[in-house]
Amino acid sequence: MTVYMVERDLKGISMEALGGAQKAAISKAAEMTSKGTDIRYLRSTFAPEDGRCMCLFDAVSDADVKRLNDDAGLPYHRIVPALDLTS
């Protein structure tokens, strides 16, 4: 599996809506995994000052990550392979 970073512009989003978006990503990943598509939501980083949000997913392909975000109704600019350097 590969880590993919999803870049989002969420300027002006409320903390409640941000939490809802995170829950939607987690829920959709669990649903997809239960149906045979191996994908996991890892974490997000949000910069409230300018609305940038970076979300990490572990998946077999960027197409699976795209489908998850499209099906969950989550906006994004691009999806790219990434290195998760969390220690």
| CATH code assigned at 18 | 3.30.70.3090
Q: How confident is the model at residue 35 (pLDDT cuts 50, 70, 90)?
A: very high
- Sequence-distant (6+) residues with CB within 8 A of 36 are none
pLDDT value at position 87? 61
Residue 38 lies in a domain: yes
Q: How confident is the model at residue 85 (pLDDT cuts 50, 70, 90)?
A: confident
Range of the domain at 17: 2-81
What percent of the chain lies above the pLDDT cut of 90? 94
Measured CA angle at 3 (ends 24, 43), to 5 deg = 40
Residue 86 lies in a domain: no
Can you tell me which residue has the tokens 């979300």?
A: 55
Residue 79 in contact with residue 53, Cβ under 8 Å?
Answer: no
pLDDT value at position 43? 95
- Sequence-distant (6+) residues with CB within 8 A of 67 are 32, 37
The whole-chain average pLDDT of the chain stands at 95
pLDDT value at position 7? 97
Residue 87 lies in a domain: no
